[in-house]
Amino acid sequence: MPEQNAPQTDGAKGPTHDVAVLGGGSFGTAMAKVLGENGHRVHFWMRDAGQVDEINRTRINSRYMPDVELTGDLLPTTDLAEAVGKAEIVFVAIPSKAFRAVIREHSGEFRDGQIVISLTKGIEEHGFKLMSEILQEEIPRCRIGVLSGPNLASEIVSRDLTATVIAAKDPDVRRTVQDLLGCEYFRVYANVDIYGVELAGALKNIYAIVAGLASALEMGENAKAMLITRGLAEMSRFAVSLGANPMTFMGLAGVGDLIVTCTSAKSRNFRVGYAVGKGQNLDDAVNELGQVAEGIYTLKLVKEKSEAIGIYMPLVRGLYEILYGTASIKAVINSLMLSVQNSDVEFILPRTISQ
Ligand SMILES: NC(=O)C1=CN([C@@H]2O[C@H](COP(=O)(O)OP(=O)(O)OC[C@H]3O[C@@H](n4cnc5c(N)ncnc54)[C@H](OP(=O)(O)O)[C@@H]3O)[C@@H](O)[C@H]2O)C=CC1
Ligand SMILES: O=C(CO)COP(=O)(O)O
């Protein structure tokens, strides 16, 4: 039987590993839970001593996952040096705004060849750097990868069936992460296109905000399909111009993540868009959320970058005008609907057809 058709032995636990998860928010907690349930010893770093104390006493992270009991061998700590020092593999779930500062402050703690995986879906303001590029700059002696896909934390902690993508150049990194995380409810597919996988995860947050807005305005199912599909065209066009593989956008990290965040009120980015669509101002919507919505920062950076490199992104521009400019939602919708009617799938058609 060819290898790809061989029966899987999901649920069979391999050897126990020491792993670290940096970041005690929603996604760090979800990944720590999967790793713990898979039998690994999880050094779970967060900056808040009260949160460490609470998880030690109650096995609950009440701020981010109040209804979820954290089973397995989880060792919460505020000592990042100890967590990284004990871990064979480190997963980083720190919002993009704080990502470099945390890694830089502790760069001396990481070891040569240690595997470090970013879980973060954002872009750094200065220089348009993705998190894997920050890791490469700050801890170049480590082996780096990126995990991204349709992965709502609130569903993973409920053990709802989920798939994700590990992207890394080193096949040993890809295999190691598949073995550590894969289980009966969590499947890990592999890709070598780190840049595409990572950029897709950051870009789709923008379209989730757009979809939330559309939902608040009760635009209908046709409009939802149009926004998701044209969002995919736009993000693919942009990413490919920066060197990503267009096929990545056909996979879980591309269209998969776009679908889940554009159709679910469990997405924080969707919820911010929804609140703005209902008339709330952006700052209030973000404060009320109390968790990170990376898309509001990514939007600014992508708008600037797309203008600098001459890539047409009408949804990005329209959303920017609504969130950061003075345009009304109605005016932006009108202008989008009455703009030049282009070819479909122009981002993969030969130029002669698409012009
Ligand atoms: N939640 C999800 O469904 C998914 C999230 N992601 C990505 O994971 C990343 C993290 O998101 P998520 O966990 O959901 O975010 P949350 O808002 O739920 O939590 C953020 C976490 O980051 C911590 N943090 C913030 N600033 C700092 C800092 N300066 N130093 C140290 N820790 C800090 C917070 O600590 P404190 O509580 O002390 O402020 C908190 O533990 C994001 O890029 C997101 O896009 C990816 C896939 C799914
Ligand atoms: O990336 C996510 C799901 O794949 C989570 O999206 P939000 O950050 O919008 O909640």
Provide ipTM, 2 decimals.
Answer: 0.99
Nearest ligand to the CA atom of 96: 1
339 phi, psi to nearest 5 deg: -75, 175
Judged against a pLDDT cut of 60, whether residue 137 lies above it is answered with yes
Give pLDDT, residue 340: 82
Mean pLDDT of 238-267: 96
Has 204 been annotated as catalytic?
yes
Give pLDDT, residue 350: 55
Give pLDDT, residue 351: 52
351 is in an annotated binding site: no
Mean pLDDT of 266-288: 97
CA of 97 to the centre of ligand 1 (A): 10
Please answer whether residues 236 and 246 qualify as being in contact, where contact means their C-beta atoms are separated by less than 8 angstroms: yes
- Dihedral (CA of 106, 108, 111, 114) sign: positive
pLDDT tier at 12, thresholds 50, 70, 90: very low
With a 6 Å cutoff on the Cβ, whether 260 touches ligand 2 is yes
Residues of the chain with CATH 1.10.1040.10: 201-354
CA of 298 to the centre of ligand 1 (A): 15
249 is in an annotated binding site: no
Judged against a pLDDT cut of 80, whether residue 353 lies above it is answered with no
CA of 152, closest atom in ligand 2: 3
Give pLDDT, residue 339: 85
125 is in an annotated binding site: no
Give pLDDT, residue 2: 36
Q: Which residues, at least 6 apart from 280, have a Cβ–Cβ distance to it below 8 Å?
A: 288
Residue located nearest, by CA, to atom 29 of ligand 1: 98
Residue type, 34: V
Give pLDDT, residue 334: 85
Nearest ligand to the CA atom of 272: 2
Give pLDDT, residue 9: 40
Residue located nearest, by CA, to atom 19 of ligand 1: 25
208 phi, psi to nearest 5 deg: -65, -35
Tell me the average pLDDT of the chain. Answer: 93
Judged against a pLDDT cut of 80, whether residue 347 lies above it is answered with no
Judged against a pLDDT cut of 90, whether residue 138 lies above it is answered with yes
pLDDT tier at 74, thresholds 50, 70, 90: very high
Q: What's the topology of domain 3-192? A: Rossmann fold (3.40.50)
Q: How far apart are CA 80 and CA 90, in angstroms?
A: 11
Q: Choose one of 47, 53, 148, 260 to mutate for the ligand 1 pocket test, by most ligand atoms within 8 angstroms of C-beta.
A: 47
Judged against a pLDDT cut of 50, whether residue 32 lies above it is answered with yes
Residues of the chain with CATH 3.40.50.720: 3-192
Cα–Cα nearest to 19, from 37, 1, 2: 37
With a 6 Å cutoff on the Cβ, whether 102 touches ligand 1 is yes
26 is in an annotated binding site: yes
With a 6 Å cutoff on the Cβ, whether 271 touches ligand 2 is no
pLDDT tier at 254, thresholds 50, 70, 90: very high
pLDDT tier at 348, thresholds 50, 70, 90: low
Judged against a pLDDT cut of 90, whether residue 6 lies above it is answered with no
Q: Which residues pair with 19 in a beta bridge?
A: 42, 89
Mean pLDDT of 90-109: 98
Record the pTM: 0.94
Q: Give the pLDDT confidence of 281-334 residue by residue, as tens digits.
A: 999 999 999 999 999 999 999 999 999 999 999 999 999 999 999 999 989 998
Q: How far apart are CA 96 and CA 292, in angstroms?
A: 9
Spatial strand order of the sheet with 41-45 comes to 74-77, 41-45, 18-22, 89-92, 115-118, 143-148, 162-167, 186-191
Q: Give the pLDDT confidence of 168-209 residue by residue, as tens digits.
A: 999 999 999 999 999 999 999 999 999 999 999 999 999 999
Q: Which residues, at least 6 apart from 104, have a Cβ–Cβ distance to it below 8 Å?
A: 138
Give pLDDT, residue 15: 87
Give pLDDT, residue 7: 38
Give pLDDT, residue 336: 87
Give pLDDT, residue 343: 81
Catalytic residue among 33, 129, 204, 303: 204
pLDDT tier at 14, thresholds 50, 70, 90: confident
Strand, helix or coil for residue 45? strand
Please answer whether residues 171 and 283 qualify as being in contact, where contact means their C-beta atoms are separated by less than 8 angstroms: no
Q: Which CATH number is 201-354's, of 1.10.3720.10, 1.10.150.130, 3.20.20.80, 1.10.1040.10?
A: 1.10.1040.10
Q: How far apart are CA 156 and CA 36, in angstroms?
A: 13
CA of 126 to the centre of ligand 1 (A): 20
Give pLDDT, residue 5: 39
